[in-house]
Structure formats: structure tokens, C-alpha cells
A and B are shown apart, each in its own frame.
Chain A
Amino acid sequence: MRVVIAEDAVLLREGLVGLLERFGHTVAASVGDADALVAAVAEHRPDAVVTDVRMPPGFTDEGLRAALDLRRRHPGLAVLVLSQYVEQTYAAELLESGDGAGVGYLLKDRIGDVREFVDALDRVAAGGTVVDPEVVRQLLRRRRDPLARLTPREQQVLGLIAEGRANASIARELVVTEAAVAKHIAGIFTKLDLPPESDGHRRVLAVLAYLQG
């Protein structure tokens, strides 16, 4: 996979390049600000972009704006946005862009869990949706009443769906069979009156939309 990285902290940028290359990806370009990111994407046509939210010159949300802009200009471009802190508004704006397929929003901390991080990038590049567990945790806390009807196990599964995990990944995480996961998911969707979606980013969006109320 060919990736363009935008991150203004040199230490981290070089670290990310090393990390992705180690897992067999090609880093077409690594840049330090939003304008350079837009230019690099136009030049290299990567499969995916990894960008920090906050970058020069304004150090506010240039990276996120650039990501949204790139999604408009290059439909189908996968974008993984890294943020220093969880911000529901940013997550919501990303998920709205291009039908929510091929976007990810993760806390920067997650880079440390290198395997999971690269796995998340792969899922985003494959058209999936990845949402930071922290975002999901906040959303789950907000909708309390109908969620009370779910069993603790179903609530766990719901959280993992919202993060963008596929059935196989959920099964691994909970150490159960995929069949058991499928059964839980069917139960959740019936109880919450959600449209049955087999898998993929539409299912994530349906659950997130439900949680956002």
C-alpha cells in the first residue's frame, strides 16, 4: 500500500515512516503541513493518507480540514486522522465525508500499539470505518436507557462494532467463535431496532448514528 504521511513533529513523522515500512507499506511522501499534504497527494496518488489534526501554520485543525478536502477531491482516498485528544465533532465530520467509507479517526496514543495501528490503517484502506474506542466509550455513556436492554456481552460487542471491527476481529478480541459474535449482533440489532447490515462500514455508521442519537 502506498501511503502519504502528514505530521509536523519530526520525531513522530520519521517514526511513522519506519513503522509503516516495517510492515511492508510504501511511504510515498512524508510532509509537515497541510498544504504540502494536499500537494503530495496530488503528486503521488497514494492509497491512503495518515494525517495529524493539528499542524502548521495555525496549529488548529488544518490536518482535518485538509483530509476532508482531499476526500472531496479524490473520492475513494482512504484517510486515517490522528488526534491528540478525542473530539466528537471531528469524528462526526470525518464520518460524514464520502459516506464514511475508508475513514478512520484515532487517538495518537494508538500508534504505540503498532500491530493494531497498522491493522486499523489496513481496514481503512480497504474501505472500512475505524473509530477510536474512546469516541465509542463516550457515545455509549450518553445513550443509557435503551442500551440497558442489552446484556453486558452485547454491550461489549456493540462497542467493538462501533469501533469498526469486523466479526472475525470481534471474535478474536472476546475469545469466542465468529458464530457466537454473529448471534450477539443479531440480538443487538433486533433489540435496538436497527436495519440488519451484514458487515462493513455501513454497519459501523448505523451503530454510530444510533449512539449519537
Chain B
Amino acid sequence: MGNRTALEALTQRPPAFLRSAWTWRCVAYLLGSVVPGAAVGLGVMVVGLAGPPVSLLLVPVLPALVVPLIARFERVRLRLVDTVPLPPVPDRRRREAGVAVMTVFAMWWIDLLMLGFTVGGPVLLILSPVVQPEVVPAAGLVASVAGVLLLPVAAYTITAWGGARGAMVRAVLAPTGSELSEVMRSRARLVDAFETERRRIERDLHDGAQQRLVALSMTLGLARLDVLDDSPMARTLGRAHDEARQALAELRELIRGVHSQVLTDRGLGAAVRDVAGRSPVPVDVDVDGLGRLPAPVEVTAYYVVSEALANVARHSAATRAAVTARTAAGTLAVEVRDDGVGGADPARGTGLTGLADRLAVVEGRLSVSSPPGGPTLVRVEIPCAW
């Protein structure tokens, strides 16, 4: 149903939740604690029967045997309440031992008590006409009804505990950050590599094709000086000259799209003014006092502004737009607003989704407010501590 864990399932509407299998999965999950409970009972019994001095030997040996088995068991049954695969972590053995110790000493009996009370209570109430025939039938009936009404509540209690316990186990086995931050770093490296590559392409085009085209245009210009103005040759040269000019203009736009040299040279403020200056919709720019920011932050913010202004020009029918950028408390906040028709939907992929992906790499956040009829406000926040 789209829910990956028992805790997520709790957030559904009650009918959907109660129909789902999550409560039953949690019951199965908690019932599983019978296994470690039995193991503990068996262990205590063996130690007790053996008596000293053998028991002294068994105390360290038994946990060494049992802990890996219980850890494995916890790992497997976690899938009942949490279907997200566990990422590999460096210190897996230590973490598994932690979970096993937690189960052996506390969890197993808490699980069983919890299950006992939440299921046992309503069941006893329902059965009260049977188990307590001496009370007035009416009272017994009321108790039965109350018991039936309490069953859905029990479903919530069980799922909440099952989910919370699963979250605890996950937190010990694979805490957030241990693996995720590595993914972030590698994604950031990838983005960096792309950016370096774009810069190289820009440089190659600038040093190569662009200079040659300027030289060609100049040569054609000089050639035009040497022919009579109304000769056929002049007309041909004129056409060639126009083509060269057109090619230069197109190449310039292409290069600018690949990589913004202004951004590298003068930072985000200048680059935003530049992109705003080229927008067909007039844009008010307020980016004073930004200073230089870490390169990944500047590049990402620049793409956001470029894309947002492109959207303003393409979809919004706005007559005016505004860009503001501020840093406060180590976070860069950029806002692009317009007075257009609104209705921009990040889910429909109007380039906004791509922005969100880029932002994820620098741990930035994108929020869009665009009610039908407008206005539209795109806001991003990017932490600057890199």
C-alpha cells in the first residue's frame, strides 16, 4: 500500500489501516519474542541444573552461542514491521550483539506483556458473559460491547509498539547517517565531477570554436571592404558574414548554458543579476551582501534561479518577477517570485523535480507555493557549511 514500515502505516486513515495486514504483522513480530524468551528460560535452567563449577563455565559460553543466533533472528523478523532493506554497516557484529543483548534482557518480556495486555484485555471483556456468569447479563453485555470497541484501539497500540520496537532495532543495526552520508558524499563528488567536466567543455568551446568563428567573422568583414558594395560578391559575402554572426550568437548561448563563467568569476550575486538581465520578463534582483559561497552551493543556487526564471518566462504569463538571496545562520535562502498565473506543480515535473534532485545533493530544501491564479513563490534553502 506504499507503506514501508509499521510506523508509516499508522499515518493512514483508520479504515485503510485497520484493513491492512500491518497489525497482524506486528502481532507476529511481537509473538516472535517467545523464541528469545524460551532461549533465556532454557539457558537459566541449564545453568541452574548444572550448578557450580560447570555453571561458571557456562555463563560466558552460553551467551557467546546464543547472541549470534538471536541477532540473526532479530534481523529476519524485523522485515515483518520494516520492509526497507538494512544497509551494510562497517561494525555489523558489534551492533548485532547490542540488539541481541537488548532482546535478551528486556525486549522479549516487554513484547509479550504488551501483547498480553492489549489483546488479553479486550478478549476478557468480550468473554465476560462466559467467564463471569454470576454478574448481571446486561452488565456482561455492556462489557462485551466495550471489548469489541477496544479491539481497534488494541490494533493501534500493537502496531505502535511493533513499529517503535522495529525502529529501535533499526537504529541500533544501521543508524541513519552511517551509510546515507557516504551516499551523499559520493553524490556530491559526482556532481563535482560533472561540474568540472562542464567547465572543461566550456573552456574548449571558448578557446576553440568561438575564437575561430570570431576570426572568420573578422576575415569576412575585411573581405567585404575589398569588394564593391553592390556586386554579387558583396551579397554573397554579406550572407556568409550574417551566417557567421548567427553561429557566434548561437554558440554563445550554448556555452552559457553549459557553464556560467560569471558565476565562477564573480559569484552568485553577479550570476543572478546576469541571468535576470537576460530574462524576457523584467526581474527585480536583490542579492546584495552575498559574498562568495562554497562552489557547490553557488552552482546549485544558480541552477535553481536559472530554471525558476525559465519557468516564469515559459509558463507563468507573469509581467514581473523578483529574485532575492540572503544568507542567515549559515544557510543560503533564495526566493524567486512572480505575479503570474500560478499552478506550478513539482509532482508534474516542470523542471522543479530536477531542481529538487540537485538540491538533495547539497542537503538543500525546495518549497513551492503556486496556487491556481498565482502568485508563484519558489524558495530554496541550502546549508553553506561545506
In the complex where A54-B206, A89-B274, A141-B280 touch, is A113 in contact with B221 (Cβ < 8 A)?
yes
Contact B217 A109 (CB under 8 A): yes
Verify if B245 is at the interface (C-beta below 8 Å from A). yes
Q: Which residues of chain B in 221-241 are interfacial with respect to chain A, using CB atoms and an 8 Å cutoff?
A: 221-222, 224-225, 241
Of B55-63, B256-264, B298-306, which binds chain A? B256-264
A91 to chain B, nearest CB (A): 10
Give the residue name and chain of the A residue nearest to B207 (CB).
Answer: A9
Partner of A112, one of B207, B245, B262, B264: B245
A89 to B290 CA separation, bound complex (whole angstroms): 15
A138 to B275 CA separation, bound complex (whole angstroms): 10
B241 to chain A, nearest CB (A): 7
With a cutoff of 8 Å between Cβ atoms, the chain A residues found around residue B248 in the complex are: 109, 112
B133 to chain A, nearest CB (A): 89
Verify if A61 is at the interface (C-beta below 8 Å from B). yes
Most buried by B among A15, A22, A60, A139: A15
Which A residues contact B (CB, under 8 angstroms)?
9, 11-12, 15-16, 18-19, 22, 54, 59-61, 84-85, 87-89, 108-109, 111-115, 117, 138-139, 141-144
Of B15-23, B78-86, B265-273, which binds chain A? B265-273
Partner of B282, one of A18, A22, A88, A141: A141
In the complex where A11-B212, A60-B264, A61-B265 touch, is A88 in contact with B274 (Cβ < 8 A)?
yes
With a cutoff of 8 Å between Cβ atoms, the chain A residues found around residue B244 in the complex are: 112
Give the residue name and chain of the A residue nearest to B215 (CB).
Answer: A11
Contact A54 B261 (CB under 8 A): yes
With a cutoff of 8 Å between Cβ atoms, the chain A residues found around residue B214 in the complex are: 12, 108-109, 111-112
Contact B274 A12 (CB under 8 A): no
B144 to chain A, nearest CB (A): 77
With a cutoff of 8 Å between Cβ atoms, the chain A residues found around residue B241 in the complex are: 112
Contact A60 B280 (CB under 8 A): no
Most buried by B among A18, A19, A88, A112: A112
Excluding A60-B261, A89-B266, A114-B224, 16 further A-B contacts by CB distance (< 8 Å) are A9-B211, A11-B212, A12-B214, A12-B215, A15-B218, A61-B266, A84-B206, A84-B255, A85-B252, A88-B277, A89-B270, A89-B273, A112-B218, A112-B241, A115-B225, A142-B282
Contact B218 A142 (CB under 8 A): no
| Contact flags B278-315 to A (C-beta < 8 A → 1, else 0) | 11101100000000000000000000000000000000
A209 to chain B, nearest CB (A): 16
Q: List 22 A-B contacts (CB under 8 A).
A: A9-B211, A11-B211, A15-B215, A15-B219, A18-B222, A19-B222, A60-B261, A84-B210, A85-B252, A87-B270, A89-B266, A108-B210, A109-B245, A111-B214, A112-B214, A112-B221, A112-B241, A112-B245, A115-B221, A115-B225, A138-B278, A142-B277
B194 to chain A, nearest CB (A): 20
Partner of A12, one of B218, B255, B266: B218
A55 to B178 CA separation, bound complex (whole angstroms): 45
Contact B277 A85 (CB under 8 A): no
Verify if B149 is at the interface (C-beta below 8 Å from A). no
With a cutoff of 8 Å between Cβ atoms, the chain B residues found around residue A109 in the complex are: 214, 217, 245, 248-249, 252
Verify if B203 is at the interface (C-beta below 8 Å from A). yes
With a cutoff of 8 Å between Cβ atoms, the chain B residues found around residue A61 in the complex are: 265-266
A89 to B268 CA separation, bound complex (whole angstroms): 12
Contact B282 A144 (CB under 8 A): yes
Partner of B218, one of A60, A111, A141: A111
With a cutoff of 8 Å between Cβ atoms, the chain A residues found around residue B256 in the complex are: 85
Verify if B114 is at the interface (C-beta below 8 Å from A). no
With a cutoff of 8 Å between Cβ atoms, the chain B residues found around residue A22 in the complex are: 222, 225
Verify if B220 is at the interface (C-beta below 8 Å from A). yes
A143 to B276 CA separation, bound complex (whole angstroms): 12
A111 to B62 CA separation, bound complex (whole angstroms): 88
Give the residue name and chain of the A residue nearest to B221 (CB).
Answer: A114
With a cutoff of 8 Å between Cβ atoms, the chain A residues found around residue B265 in the complex are: 60-61
A115 to B261 CA separation, bound complex (whole angstroms): 29
B291 to chain A, nearest CB (A): 14
A114 to B283 CA separation, bound complex (whole angstroms): 35
Contact A87 B215 (CB under 8 A): no
Query: Lowest 9 A-B CB distances belong to which pairs?
Result: A112-B217, A114-B221, A9-B211, A138-B277, A89-B270, A60-B265, A11-B215, A112-B221, A109-B248
B280 to chain A, nearest CB (A): 7
A49 to chain B, nearest CB (A): 18
Give the residue name and chain of the B residue nearest to A61 (CB).
Answer: B265
With a cutoff of 8 Å between Cβ atoms, the chain B residues found around residue A115 in the complex are: 221, 225
With a cutoff of 8 Å between Cβ atoms, the chain A residues found around residue B215 in the complex are: 9, 11-12, 15
